[in-house]
Amino acid sequence: MIRRVTTPLLALLLAGWVVAQTTDMDPEQYCARRDDEYFRKDFGDPAEFASDYRANCGVYYRCVPAPAGKRSISASQCQSELFFDVQQQICERKSKVTNCEQIDKEHPPQPFWPLREGEESQCKSGEIMCGSGECLPQHRFCDENSDCADGSDENICTPDKDPNRADVCEPRTCLWSQGCFCSVDGTRIPGDLTVDQTPQMITITFTGAINERNFRIFQDVFKDTVKHKGNDCTPKGTFFISHGFSNYSAIQELNRVGHEIAVSSITNNDNPDYWSKLSALDYEAEMDGARLIIEKFANITANEVLGIRVPKQRVGGNRQFRMMVDWGFLYDSSISAPMGRLPLWPYTLMHRMPHKCLGNDQNCPSQNFTVWEMVINEMDRRDDPQFDERLTGCHFVDQCANIQSPEQFRAFLDNNLARHYRTNRAPLGLHFTSGYFETRRDFLREFVKWVRETALSGDYFFVTMQQVINWMEAPTELTAINNFQEWKGKCEVKGQPYCSLPNPCPKKVPRIFPNEEEMFLYTCMECPNTYPWLGDPHGNGFLDIPDF
């Protein structure tokens, strides 16, 4: 039996072996046009050197700065049971990696932009050269129309490369009176209030389908007997609804008692590429279609549903945000930000994003849009932030896999709240999938207790995403927050639900849910002819598809 032993000496030897692999690699050759991406060593013809590529599939390289303005090659290696997936730029299980012979991550054709230091354009002023060689006016790049012969004009539409990207924030010209708010680094308190006069807002969000089980949990979290000491209103949350399996009578009740209803698509498609590459027209069908379903079957007034969260947080770039402007959405809450010295406040996209576009192949917006971004700050999941070594954080609470006990969960909540409260009091976002507490009843009990105790302390307010924007548009000091009217609507709602026996509308939808014999759409409204879906949000019926 062979026993694998890991020791500091072995780790040092391994590190030395990896470094040795770069000795015959010429930085001038390898780093000529490579930026920050990882790559593999070029052994030659893959057909001839297949065994070398396979044997080194866990080793990957990167070009890094060196003295005198030069560059050198840094080598790393995945753990022994993993290979490096050069396309995904991550270490992955060996069985899932099929590109050991691929040297670089493949990219679609790129135009000659931005120009590197010392390079000169061969085009006239105001023009950019396509990857295929022709010159086009700058304004035709990233306009969602492929004008270059190779389509390269639409392949650089990122916040750092788009030639028509939004301007960097200029606080002197971004005025509240014109509906503009920006911050150079995203940490500025609106209205330039002092920290001690800024209310600490907390946004609790749930994303996914609403059903009978989790609806009861939400009633426990947001008890109508708990009130904020600062304004006597009950805590409120925001629910990003995905359509399939949702109970619209429960959604109607959540809206009645003052929670915000937002959308997270009709299909909730599991494929991340689907959302990153979706057209503006298809985003309209997914998001505005979901809004129409909610308005009709949860009996919610038009223009109340104003927020979007894309499934998997796979942002749809300029196409998504152009759709949002065209169809009157107020904000998105899909973009994550890395943890910095201070947490970030929400911002408008009338200026360039004040932080890095976080995520592998993430498709962030690059141009000017009159839309708010309710940024998802990275949370600290360490048990003791003061003494524990730094760990990669999490954006959804579901992602904090190291939290195993109610005591750890409580410490996690307290630590992250303290970080926001003691610095710039940017809103603390606690983001869950809708089913999070269904299998964590001990965490639920701790969370219910924490919400009650925090609300009663005085400086903290559990508010909706729209209420955060309301406050940012009219910054109000903590001493006057009891009279802030934008938080007084549905402050304390009593009374009975609109209906206690909703209509269970059964429909067979084999092409949408092949494993479900029958789907039930619970609503207090009249039943639709068929199960609402893409292209038919009112459920009138797809006359050309017999199965529906």
DSSP 132-185: TS-EEEGGGTTSSS--STTSGGGS--STTT-TTPPPPP-TTT--GGGT----SS
Give a yes or no: residue 316 inside a domain. Answer: yes
Q: DSSP character for 130?
A: -
Give a yes or no: residue 515 inside a domain. Answer: no
Structure tokens at 139: 């304004």
The phi and psi torsions of 438 (rounded to 5 degrees) equal -65, -30
Q: How far apart are CA 229 and CA 400, in angstroms?
A: 30
Q: Answer yes or no: do 67 and 115 share one domain.
A: no
Give a yes or no: residue 539 inside a domain. Answer: no
Residue 7 pLDDT: 44
Q: How far apart are CA 84 and CA 92, in angstroms?
A: 6
| Residue 413 CB partners (closer than 8 Å, separation 6+) | 430, 447, 450
Q: Phi/psi class of residue 245: alpha, beta or left (left: φ > 0; alpha: ψ in -120 to 50)?
A: left
Q: How far apart are CA 383 and CA 380, in angstroms?
A: 9
Q: Count CA within 13 A, CB hemisphere, residue 509.
A: 19
Grouping H, G, I as helix, E, B as strand and the rest as coil, residue 530 is: coil
Q: Answer yes or no: do 300 and 380 share one domain.
A: yes
Query: Please, are residues 105 and 87 in contact by the beta-carbon 8 Å criterion?
Result: yes
Dihedral sign (CA 339, 340, 343, 346): negative
Q: Where are the alpha helices (DSSP H) in 356-464?
A: 406-422, 441-455
Grouping H, G, I as helix, E, B as strand and the rest as coil, residue 256 is: helix
Query: Please, are residues 346 and 365 in contact by the beta-carbon 8 Å criterion?
Result: no
Give a yes or no: residue 275 inside a domain. Answer: yes
Say how many residues make up the chain.
Answer: 548
Pairing state between β 336-337 and 376-377? parallel
Q: Phi/psi class of residue 234: alpha, beta or left (left: φ > 0; alpha: ψ in -120 to 50)?
A: beta
Q: Answer yes or no: do 464 and 415 share one domain.
A: yes
CA proximity to 269, closest of 241, 206, 320, 311:
311
Grouping H, G, I as helix, E, B as strand and the rest as coil, residue 505 is: strand
Q: Answer yes or no: do 430 and 295 share one domain.
A: yes
Residue 90 pLDDT: 86
The phi and psi torsions of 45 (rounded to 5 degrees) equal -55, 120
Query: Please, are residues 211 and 250 in contact by the beta-carbon 8 Å criterion?
Result: yes
For the chain, what is the total number of helices (H) and then of strands (E)?
Answer: 12, 19
Residue 401 pLDDT: 84
Q: How far apart are CA 381 and CA 414, in angstroms?
A: 11
Domain boundary among the residues 433, 451, 483 is at: 483
Residue 485 pLDDT: 94
**Which residues span the domain enclosing 84?**
27-93
Give a yes or no: residue 468 inside a domain. Answer: yes
Place of tokens 């429960």: 250
Q: Answer yes or no: do 149 and 274 share one domain.
A: no
Q: Answer yes or no: do 86 and 128 share one domain.
A: no
Query: Please, are residues 424 and 340 in contact by the beta-carbon 8 Å criterion?
Result: no
Residue 201 pLDDT: 98
Q: Phi/psi class of residue 326: alpha, beta or left (left: φ > 0; alpha: ψ in -120 to 50)?
A: alpha
Residue 197 pLDDT: 96
Structure tokens at 309: 């969260």
Grouping H, G, I as helix, E, B as strand and the rest as coil, residue 456 is: coil
Residue 68 pLDDT: 85
Q: Answer yes or no: do 283 and 428 share one domain.
A: yes
Q: Nearest 5°: CA angle at 464, between 420 and 441? A: 80
| Residue 335 CB partners (closer than 8 Å, separation 6+) | 313, 315, 353, 357, 358, 364, 373, 375, 376
Instruction: Give the chain's end-to-end CA distance (angstroms, integer).
Output: 60
Q: Answer yes or no: do 80 and 113 share one domain.
A: no
Distances (CA, A) of 165 to 146, 159, 168, 378: 17, 6, 9, 25
Give a yes or no: residue 527 inside a domain. Answer: no
Q: Answer yes or no: do 48 and 154 share one domain.
A: no
Q: Phi/psi class of residue 98: alpha, beta or left (left: φ > 0; alpha: ψ in -120 to 50)?
A: alpha
Residue 545 pLDDT: 42
Cα 181 from chain centre: 21
* DSSP calls for 315-373: -BHHHHHHHHHHTT--EE---EE---SSPPPPEETTS--SS---STT-B---S--S-EE
Give a yes or no: residue 14 inside a domain. Answer: no
Q: DSSP character for 118?
A: T
Q: Answer yes or no: do 127 and 89 share one domain.
A: no
Domain boundary among the residues 93, 123, 141 is at: 93
Give a yes or no: residue 20 inside a domain. Answer: no
Place of tokens 């002197």: 172
Domain boundary among the residues 465, 483, 501 is at: 483
Pairing state between β 460-462 and 59-65? unpaired
**Of all helices (H) and strands (E), which one includes residue 523?**
strand 519-523
Q: Count CA within 13 A, CB hemisphere, residue 350.
A: 18
Grouping H, G, I as helix, E, B as strand and the rest as coil, residue 293 is: helix
Q: DSSP character for 286?
A: I
Number of domains within the chain? 3
Q: Answer yes or no: do 351 and 303 share one domain.
A: yes
Residue 117 pLDDT: 81
Place of tokens 């990669």: 392
Q: Answer yes or no: do 287 and 153 share one domain.
A: no
pLDDT by residue for the chain (548 residues), tens only, comes to 434 444 444 444 444 445 455 678 999 889 887 878 899 999 999 999 999 999 999 999 999 998 988 889 999 999 888 999 998 888 989 998 999 999 999 889 999 999 888 888 999 999 999 999 999 999 999 999 999 999 999 999 999 999 999 999 988 888 777 777 888 999 999 988 999 999 999 999 999 999 999 999 999 999 999 999 999 999 999 999 999 999 999 999 999 999 999 999 999 998 888 998 899 999 999 999 999 999 999 999 999 999 999 999 999 999 999 999 999 999 999 999 999 999 999 999 999 999 999 877 789 999 999 999 999 999 998 877 776 667 678 899 999 888 999 999 999 999 999 999 999 999 999 999 999 999 999 999 999 999 999 999 989 999 999 999 999 999 999 999 999 999 999 999 988 999 889 999 988 886 778 777 778 899 999 999 999 999 999 999 854 444 43
**Of all helices (H) and strands (E), which one includes residue 216?**
helix 212-221
